[in-house]
Structure 1
Amino acid sequence: METTFDAEALVGYRYRVDDYYEVGREKIREYARAVQDYHPAHWSDSAATELGYPGLVAPITFTSIVAMQVNRALLENVMTGYDTFVHTDQVFEVHRPVVAGDRLTSDVEVTSVRRVVGKDLFTIATTFTDQSGEIVQVMRATIVGITSGEVESDVSAAIDRVIMSGLDTTPAHAVPAVAQPGRIATRIQTASRRHLAHGVIRLDDVAVGDELPSRTIQLTRGDLVNYAGVAGDVNPIHWHEEVASLVGLPDVIAHGMLTMGLAAAFITDWLGDPGAITRYAARLSNYTVIEAFAAGDVEFSGRIKAIDPESGTARIVLVAKAAGRKIFGLSTMDIRLG
């Protein structure tokens, strides 16, 4: 099936979402539980205050919840030449941590389109600004457009039978693949990153080549269902065996963003301050299969790749493995040290 528009013409398509997303303290706790992140700053007001924050701190991948909502207009109403999308790369650029009470306004833009091995790869940037107009975070996701010729013909029917009630899955009419007058977001200039606290790990405590203590986390089908509900990711491949099989998967698989959230929890547990992360990137090159009657193990490890003494920052290379296979093709996290 050919796409219904010139994919490259989408570069520069952008819009600002009319409403804001208000970050709630209970939603932060709910999400922290879903990604098994038990850092006290996500749960306790007093612990967050001790680190210098005005409220509970959201895990770094929390904004994927907002992006899931605000990107839907683009995926369903504009990019109508595809039947589904596969998430391949993800980057979080942090200007300051998201905290309870933030009112996030979202600007969405298609920043690039590439064609690789006959498939269209789109990079979508979602910029989150707070109620004062300052940038909080920029999230960049790369997705691959998949057409009906690449999946089983009865996938759509199977999804319709199991998809969450109340969700409109009927494709909307296509609109021109150019930015619409009156919907163009004011281009936001990159602001200097603001951090309310530094990491508890100090510069003198680490050296290039240091290995972080590894951590193994268990995932069950219940964890996947819980994450789907909390994050709003309704794709049935994460909880329905029939749909997973129809798209060529061996079984139900964990969400890529869930895996990234687990990895972030692994780092902040060691680092001591979830707000000391300045950038987090991962290539989602493999998947974690979760069987119906057995928990799946994901093993996380990390290594200090580089240190900049002048800025007091370091870069960590992250490794996530499930069933002996690497889940991330490449994953790095930039942190500020105490």
Structure 2
Amino acid sequence: MTEVPMTTAEKAEAEIYEFLDTDIQRARDLVGIYHAVTQREQFSRATPDVIRNFARSYGDDNPLFVDEEYGRDTRWGGQIAPPMINIALRQELLADSVPRDQRRPAFRGIHVFVSGSTTDWYRPVYDGDTIYSFHGFEKVELKESEFAGRSLLVTRIHVQFNQRAEVVQAQRVLTIHTERHESKKRKKYDAIEAATYTPEDIAAIDELYAAEKPRGAETRYWEDIQVGDSLGDMVKGPLTATDMMVFHSGGYGFAPYTPSAGRLAHKNRKRIGPFYIPNEQGIPDVAQRIHWDSEYARSIGLPAAYDYGMMRDCWLSHYLTDWIGDAGWIESMSSQMRKFNYLGDTHYFTGHVVGKRTEGDRHLVDLEFRGTSQRGEVTCPATATVSLPSRASDLAILPTAPREWERIAAQMLKRHGELRAEKRRSDQT
């Protein structure tokens, strides 16, 4: 008799994934240790197409990002990448093997989602730039979660630098790890109903879209800003599975699990079998489908598939770049993902100025803003500091990256080159 593979729901009922104490201790031991990132993202070098397609993947039509010629008439001298390009762009570094006692814990079967992030930007990414990265754990905290009982909060830092060892940005990401069987026992989300829309509802959303536009070449000066000023309105949604596919097309979501097709998917299943769980047809499919497969999401206790936290970070940064104009610069942005953003949800972005100040020759403005769902829930509150031109200098001054990070970047690039040379000599013998 042929054994029929378990469905998604049956698999979720049968499998119980709990934290291993050794994994938790390993995570704590790794705090403060940096390693080169040796896996590439979907893209490794910035090109006009990569930059444009990434911007379009989250709905951004700012010509500074999508037009190869437009940027030549700005202070940047050419097309630059959107702020969140780091999530889709990275070349692998060659590096010495990580000692066994410094390897990241597996957290096998544990569900992971992004709760929030803080990003600092130091330089733009241009056409032709290759981006590398080093990373490490900055903080590890074990706690009881409202969503899933015992959970582990891990703050990871990712420092990105270019081929000249210049740090372009650093991102701290808070991820929440939960025991899968625990989330199914909770009834917190049972009352959430899928959003539905009338033609009139869609027309109202369309009116908001029609009113949006980037500030562009109209310079926003620091002297003209007042505390309490509105940042305007932006809308995103209603969220669809198509939105998720388009977001992936911009390059996000392929590392480290490398979802693939055909023969490559077969090889990937051999590499990371637990990542593949049979769907309702008995076909092994990626656990990552929780972001577009509502049946699978319901099997682990959620009402529907939901977005990536990084997608909303892209939306939040889009809101800022539309407001600051071509001449402004986002210095830092912190966000929290307090609620899920389910398929069908619509988000409305609003914000205001909460402060303005100078630091040396930088003219800074502090902002508070948020995304609010059609249920009236603020799902992604955020704060940011932006640098704007002053009328005196007519130039937004960029911050300086920590020298220690650039020293580490230079050392890693040096070792990368040495290992490349060794490999080339070995291949020639």
> Residues 105 and 67 from structure 1, CA distance in 2 versus in 1: closer, same or farther, beyond 3 angstroms?
closer
- Structure 1 match to 2:115: 88
Query: What amino acid sits opposite 2:45 in the alignment?
Result: E
SS in 2 for 1:258: helix
SS in 1 for 2:247: helix
Matched, 1:318 2:369: yes
Matched, 1:332 2:383: yes
Instruction: Assess if the C-alpha contact under 8 Å between 1:254 and 1:287 holds in 2.
Output: yes
Residues of 1 paired with 2:355 and 2:300: CA distance? 40
Instruction: Assess if the C-alpha contact under 8 Å between 1:199 and 1:271 holds in 2.
Output: no
SS in 2 for 1:45: coil
- Structure 1 match to 2:54: 31
Q: Which of the two has higher C-alpha Rg?
A: 2
After TM superposition, the structure 1 = structure 2 runs for residues 185-334 of structure 1, keeping only pairs within 5 Å, are: 200-218=219-237, 219-233=239-253, 235-273=288-326, 276-291=329-344, 296-309=345-358, 311-323=362-374, 324-328=376-380, 330-334=381-385
- Structure 1 match to 2:414: none
SS in 2 for 1:243: helix
Q: Kindly, what percent of the aligned residue pairs are identical?
A: 21
The count of residues paired between Structure 1 and Structure 2 equals 285
Matched, 1:139 2:152: no
SS in 2 for 1:133: coil
Matched, 1:65 2:88: yes
After TM superposition, the structure 1 = structure 2 runs for residues 112-191 of structure 1, keeping only pairs within 5 Å, are: 112-117=139-144, 118-151=150-183
Query: What amino acid sits opposite 2:62 in the alignment?
Result: H
Instruction: Assess if the C-alpha contact under 8 Å between 1:225 and 1:238 holds in 2.
Output: no
Query: What amino acid sits opposite 1:127 in the alignment?
Result: V
Deviations 1:192-217 (A, max 9, x none): xxxxxx99210122101111211223
Instruction: Assess if the C-alpha contact under 8 Å between 1:59 and 1:274 holds in 2.
Output: no
Residues of 2 paired with 1:50 and 1:24: CA distance? 19
> Residues 15 and 99 from structure 1, CA distance in 2 versus in 1: closer, same or farther, beyond 3 angstroms?
same
Q: Larger helix proportion, structure 1 or 2?
A: 2
Cα offset, 1:151, TM superposition: 4.8
Residues of 2 paired with 1:42 and 1:260: CA distance? 17
Deviations 1:214-252 (A, max 9, x none): 122323321112113433326212111112112322112
Residues of 2 paired with 1:54 and 1:123: CA distance? 36
Runs of 4+ in structure 1 deviating by more than 4 angstroms, as ranges, are 67-70
> Residues 306 and 9 from structure 1, CA distance in 2 versus in 1: closer, same or farther, beyond 3 angstroms?
same
- Structure 2 match to 1:41: 64
Residues of 2 paired with 1:152 and 1:59: CA distance? 38
Deviations 1:159-182 (A, max 9, x none): xxxxxxxxxxxxxxxxxxxxxxxx
Which runs of 5 or more residues in structure 1 are unaligned? 154-197
Q: Larger strand proportion, structure 1 or 2?
A: 1
Cα offset, 1:55, TM superposition: 3.5
> Residues 306 and 220 from structure 1, CA distance in 2 versus in 1: closer, same or farther, beyond 3 angstroms?
same
Deviations 1:297-338 (A, max 9, x none): 21001100110145311011111011211111x311111112
Query: What amino acid sits opposite 2:105 in the alignment?
Result: M
**TM-score, normalisation: structure 1:** 0.77
Range that drifts further, 143-152 or 99-108 = 143-152
Query: What amino acid sits opposite 1:208 in the alignment?
Result: V
Provide the aligned C-alpha RMSD in A.
Answer: 2.7
Residues of 1 paired with 2:139 and 2:92: CA distance? 21
Residues of 1 paired with 2:92 and 2:302: CA distance? 26
**TM-score, normalisation: structure 2:** 0.61
Instruction: Assess if the C-alpha contact under 8 Å between 2:220 and 2:328 holds in 1.
Output: no
Deviations 1:114-170 (A, max 9, x none): 1222322111111111111111110111111223443569xxxxxxxxxxxxxxxxx
Which runs of 5 or more residues in structure 2 are unaligned? 1-17, 145-149, 186-216, 254-258, 260-287, 390-429
Range that drifts further, 299-308 or 52-61 = 52-61
Residues of 2 paired with 1:276 and 1:236: CA distance? 35
Query: What amino acid sits opposite 1:207 in the alignment?
Result: Q
Query: What amino acid sits opposite 2:355 in the alignment?
Result: A
> Residues 45 and 52 from structure 1, CA distance in 2 versus in 1: closer, same or farther, beyond 3 angstroms?
farther
Residues of 2 paired with 1:68 and 1:148: CA distance? 33
